[in-house]
Amino acid sequence: MRITALARIGCMGAFCVLCAVASPSWAQDDDAQDRVLRVCQDPNNLPLSNRDGSGLENRIAQLFADKLGWKLEHTWYPQRMGFIRNTLRAKLPDSDRYKCDLVTGVPVGFDMGLTTRPYYRSTYAMAYVKGHGLDDVHTPEDLLKLDVARRKALRIGAFIRTPAVDWLLQHGLIDQMVPYQHQSGDPEQYTGEVVDHDLADGKLDVVIAWGPIVAYFAQHAKPETPMVVVPFPPDASGLRYDFEIAMAVRHGDKALRDRIDSLIGSSQPEIAALLREYGVPSVPMQPD
């Protein structure tokens, strides 16, 4: 499996990227005529998307559809190996129409589609349960200042092939890592379980993962297990923890890409409010 920016971020279930594909540019013209915004989303990937419409990307897609005065339709598929092949690149049976036309969350630089301008930038974060001996940890550096015996006793959950692993390697904590894989093969499992279950239940002392996921499930933790979220700041050592998130259409569908770009630009106040509502650790966007 080729490691891409998406796999490095680890925020969407890690696609298995095979190749980019070109497609005709008439798809958006048809969409404009029938006034339907067709999005490709994961049905069980909170805080980003969920079949019940409660995810951040669900809400933004609905916002865009409302502004266009269009109907919103979904194609649901778990965001793991085969996601793009079975959604953005898949046609309906006995039809030339694609199942969906817009993937609502990809990293800038994603090469399996034509990307929009970014609509937010976030960073990795760590989380721990308050009152369990880590309350003095307010930055990642604070964790490194713990005495050696305490550090060696930590159980730190992290997803493989992500910046979290790089950080643990750099600071001699790889032996404390409890590894997780994004692609479990079980569509009922979700990335946030590492916080929602394993951290809350005491199986882990610390979780390091994509900030929007960590922050959302920490925000929704039970009162008896209050959690603290510690975002990673920019790192002078060259390790990267922050990423800009965009949307993607099929290669060649510039008309839809431009329409979504315009909506992202005109919806900045609403998007910012949603990011705050979901507790997303925000990093200032890179200048154009």
Statement to judge: residues 108 and 190 lie in one domain: no
**For residue 60, what are its two tokens?**
């933004």
Query: Within a domain: residue 60?
Result: yes
CATH number of the CATH domain containing 162:
3.40.190.10
Contact present, 156 and 165 (Cβ < 8 Å): no
Residues 182-189: what's their mean pLDDT?
Answer: 75
Instruction: Tell me how many domains the chain contains.
Output: 2
Statement to judge: residues 111 and 127 lie in one domain: no
Statement to judge: residues 62 and 103 lie in one domain: yes
Short-list 164, 168, 141, CA closest to 154: 168
Q: Render pLDDT for 190-205 as a digit per residue (tens, 0 to 9).
A: 899 999 999 999 999 9
Q: Is 50 exceeded by the pLDDT of residue 124? A: yes
The predicted pLDDT at position 9 comes to 60
Statement to judge: residues 253 and 218 lie in one domain: no
Q: What are phi and psi of 148, to 5 degrees?
A: -55, -45
Q: Is 50 exceeded by the pLDDT of residue 267? A: yes
Q: Render pLDDT for 18-39 as a digit per residue (tens, 0 to 9).
A: 223 333 333 445 555 689 999 9
Average pLDDT, the chain: 89
What is the C-alpha to C-alpha distance for residues 160 and 140, in angstroms, rounded to an integer? 19
Full residue range of the structural domain in which residue 100 is found: 5-120+243-277
The predicted pLDDT at position 29 comes to 52
Statement to judge: residues 200 and 160 lie in one domain: yes
CA dist list (Å): 13 to 77, 155, 161, 244: 11, 22, 12, 17
The predicted pLDDT at position 187 comes to 76
Q: Is 60 exceeded by the pLDDT of residue 253? A: yes
